[in-house]
A = this chain, B = another copy of it.
């Protein structure tokens, strides 16, 4: 490839999913997991070392997280603060304009801040192939994750025709989170990948797609004359998936098989293998010294505590920041229900 690609990291988040370890002031990407000393954001950035130099890296975050984010990244890394959350389409549009001002032909990689890749080597191999494709084609490229289970919590990409001899395939459709039966059929067919929210394209390619599918974005942006605070409230608050990817004709995907996990809830401590996270008879232990009798399948993170369990199965037991949270593993998607109560009464703990 001619020029090094730009890296755009979307790093907002409300700190809900790993609460009480994560909080609104310190969401997941600013935390470290297992025995790593790096934040997830730092780990994410490292995966692009040697590919995207620091001054071509842009972190898009919220105003309330801007200071903490700047501290967590190198001094040459750019940080863009969104004046308000408007879902991912305005965020991608801003980043694309930002890159296009510098080099409209440059490839930009749009990546989440806080996902896990067991094999960075495999990730890099696929990524570099995808970057090369995006450099040479007027396509919207996405990395589609090889599914390892019939997950109902993710959207899927339905594969279309091969577009070359290589692994690159057209994306026939973006599919919403399926029910269990559909998820099983998708995985069995071999014709579906998980949508992991990882995109690559030349800045001018995605801007062309916006002009075609969401022409109001350019209109509002230009009307605000570069004043993001003025433009943002008028831009369409939708996802890049819904606004562009599901509708664009030129979407292709490179299948990614690198032990990806979105670290979407406390259960991810079970589905990943993080250094410093131990698997014992009582379950997975990320923090705390656990003693257990007739207990299994638990997810435990209570650093500095002796944790004594008796006859306790399939619970999430977490203590951070003076907050002890207990729930069955089957309810991890509902953390927000109790977090909302805490937020109302003790906002400093949320």
Contact = CB atoms under 8 A, between A and B. Distances in A.
Interface string A307-350: 11111100101010011111110110011011101100110010
B322 A338 contact: no
A304 B324 contact: no
Interface stretch (A38-46, A108-116, A125-133, A285-293): A285-293
The copy count of this chain in the complex is 2
Contacts of A307: 323-326
Contacts of A288: 324
Given A310-B331, A312-B327, A327-B311, A338 B291 contact: yes
A274 to B, nearest CB: 22
A20 B308 contact: yes
Interface in A256-303: 288-289, 291-294, 302
A306 interface: yes
Contact of A338 (B308, B324, B342): B308
Chain A residues touching B, range: 35 or more
Contacts of A121: none
Contact of A324 (B319, B327, B328): B319
Nearest to A19: B308
A305 interface: yes
Given A20-B308, A310-B331, A310-B335, A324 B302 contact: yes
A194 to B, nearest CB: 27
B308 A325 contact: yes
B328 A311 contact: yes
A324 B334 contact: no
What 4 A-B pairs come out closest when comparing CB atoms?
A310-B327, A308-B325, A291-B341, A306-B323
Given A291-B342, A331-B311, A304 B322 contact: yes
Given A291-B338, A292-B338, A337-B293, A326 B315 contact: yes
Contacts of A324: 288, 302, 305-308, 317, 319, 324
Contacts of A339: 308
A213 B338 CA distance: 62
B323 A338 contact: no
A293 B338 contact: yes
Contacts of A330: 311
Given A312-B328, A327-B310, A289 B338 contact: no
A305 B322 contact: yes
Contact of A326 (B309, B342, B346): B309
